[in-house]
Chain A
Amino acid sequence: MIQLFNVTKTYPNGVRALNDISLTISKGEFVFMVGPSGAGKSTLVRLLYREELPDRGQIMVKSKSICRMKPEEVPYLRRSVGVVFQDFKLLAERTAFENIAFTLQVVECPRREVYERTVKVLEQVGLKDKGDNYPHQLSGGEQQRVAIARAIVNNPELIVADEPTGNLDPDTSWDIMGLFEKINKRGTTIVVATHAKEVVDGMKKRVIALEQGKVVRDELRGGYGYEN
């Protein structure tokens, strides 16, 4: 699903966020990316949905080079990669339902299908009755569920999440990670960059640890490994 070959990324201000990273993530995997702040986790996530391009190296997503991808192909990549953020990125003036339906409208899904799929995905994330609520009427956990619903409504093969529980309390974090696990069980590959030590330790998934732009540890069924 994802292959990185000797990827290096340096920002214009001279900060080297990733330094010669190579790794492979297979279809259907659930991967945690951990590491101290500034280790390059967010950069790695942003490379995966082509928000940024590496300076050197090659990145393959779904066996397609995203470095050599033409700009007009990017939208179609994004449709097969769901993205979840720490700050949810919901539109405040739209209801939960509209936020999700918006994604489908953007990809020009037929109107009838928009309704059906939105209802279905709201049910999947456990917000069946909250469709008409605006983001400010929902708790943080619920808002993140809406964001996840938005990420999966296009049936992507890959979901990348950057600190999805960074703004949530521990119990809610467990709920959100549980939701990711449920989505993963249906075959969707999931990559989560996170600081949530207990969750990472408890879930026993593959853990890739980054430090100063390098992979320092890559364990199947690993733990967080840092003292917070």
Chain B
Amino acid sequence: MKISTFGSLVAEGFRSLWRNGWMSVASIGTVTITLFIFGLFYLLVLNTNYIASTVESDVEIAAFLNVNLPEESVKEVGERLNKIMGVGEVTFVPKEKSLEQLTKTFGRDHDLVAALDGKNPLPDYYRIKTVDPSQIGTVARLIGRMVEVDEVRYGQEYIEKLFAVTHWIRIAGIALMVLLSAAAVFLIATTIRLTVFARRREIAIMRLVGATNWFIRWPFVLEGTFLGLIGASIAVLMLLFSYLGVIEQLRTAIPFMPLMTDTVLLKQLLIGMILAGVALGICGSTLSLRRFLKV
């Protein structure tokens, strides 16, 4: 394939794009919607994972001891905790400190504090950090088996719930993506078919005078590629601006919420969307050429 030939084939592809008018618009629109939603879901999953990992990195286990445990037992429990595999730092929090914290949070005159009537119903507890955050579940279960420990709580529970939600978001996203991609490919294929039909006389003559199959196919493949590429570019711009907008809004509304602003990952997503658009376009035109351009 010579460069000059390629140039004229590209021009031919663009001409068809223009000639097919509304069909091109519909194809491009579907590609845009497909990829925009893809990007949206991807960012959602990415952000939940990010939030999860942020939370995960500073989670610790709270092991609440039985009330009225003798002081020696409390100390002994602390020693045993230190010996458990994977346990890092162990801090003892006496019930007096917990009450102090509670009073500080609600204020001395709060009904809740007043209702305690000077008594302290809170248990002593140990704050335990694990060496490896992913080990937290196992360690927590081990601690939970100790008789002196009344209850074990750890942040992992919330993370697991979060992961369950992301799991469903992912499944819904994939299902939607498959449907929308099929629609996009179908619309592109139909658009290309219109071009094949419009140019059927030309194609017949090209075959007659000895055009190679690829010479005939190229403009159609290029037209499909352009449809996908334009659709993807619009989706990328839409996603980029709306995401940046949302981030800006959330920063002021919920300042402590950790959100993905990693530009490398964002760039990868956007490049991925462009490539996906091109792939959709090529799929569409290939499908159409297989059926309507017997060469």
Contact = CB atoms under 8 A, between A and B. Distances in A.
A77 B211 CA distance: 10
B202 interface: yes
Q: Which interface class (under 10, 10 to 19, 20 to 34, 35 or more) fits B?
A: 10 to 19
A112 B205 CA distance: 22
Nearest to A77: B210
Given A105-B5, A105-B8, A72 B213 contact: yes
A107 B202 contact: no
Contact of B210 (A71, A75, A89, A110): A75
B205 A89 contact: yes
A83 B2 contact: no
A76 interface: yes
Contacts of B215: 106, 108
A133 to B, nearest CB: 18
A89 B204 contact: yes
Contacts of B295: 71
A154 B5 contact: no
B208 A78 contact: yes
B2 A106 contact: no
Nearest to B205: A89
Given A108-B215, A111-B4, A78 B210 contact: yes
A91 B210 contact: no
Contacts of A103: 209
Contacts of B4: 110-111
A206 interface: no
Interface in B208-235: 208-213, 215
A102 B210 contact: no
A87 B1 CA distance: 32
Contacts of A105: 5, 8
A79 B213 contact: no
B52 to A, nearest CB: 55
A108 B212 CA distance: 10
A83 B204 CA distance: 12
Given A91-B202, A106-B215, A83 B210 contact: no
Contact of B212 (A49, A75, A110): A75
B119 interface: no
A72 B212 contact: yes
B201 interface: yes
Contacts of B8: 105
A108 B205 CA distance: 15
A154 B2 contact: no
**Of residues B202, B204, B206, B210, which shows the largest number of chain A Cβ atoms within 10 Å of its Cβ?**
B210
Interface string A71-96: 11001111100010000010100000
B207 interface: yes
A71 B294 CA distance: 12
B201 A91 contact: yes
A154 B202 contact: no
A79 B201 contact: no
A154 to B, nearest CB: 7
Nearest to B201: A91
B48 to A, nearest CB: 52
Contacts of A111: 4
Interface in A102-150: 102-103, 105-108, 110-111, 150
Contacts of B213: 71-72, 75
Contacts of A75: 207, 210-213
Contact of A79 (B1, B2, B202, B209): B209
**Of residues A76, A83, A108, which shows the largest number of chain B Cβ atoms within 10 Å of its Cβ?**
A108
Interface in B153-205: 201-202, 204-205
A38 B106 CA distance: 104
B211 A91 contact: no
Interface in A157-193: none
Interface in B1-50: 1-2, 4-5, 8
Interface of B: 1-2, 4-5, 8, 201-202, 204-213, 215, 295
Given A75-B211, A79-B210, A91-B205, 20 more contacts: A71-B213, A72-B212, A72-B213, A75-B207, A75-B213, A78-B210, A83-B208, A89-B201, A91-B202, A102-B205, A103-B209, A105-B8, A106-B206, A106-B209, A106-B210, A106-B211, A106-B215, A107-B210, A108-B2, A111-B4
17 contacts: A75-B210, A75-B212, A76-B210, A79-B209, A83-B208, A89-B201, A89-B204, A89-B205, A89-B208, A91-B202, A91-B205, A102-B205, A105-B8, A106-B206, A107-B209, A110-B4, A111-B4
The 7 closest A-B pairs by CB, nearest first: A78-B210, A79-B210, A106-B211, A103-B209, A75-B210, A75-B212, A108-B5
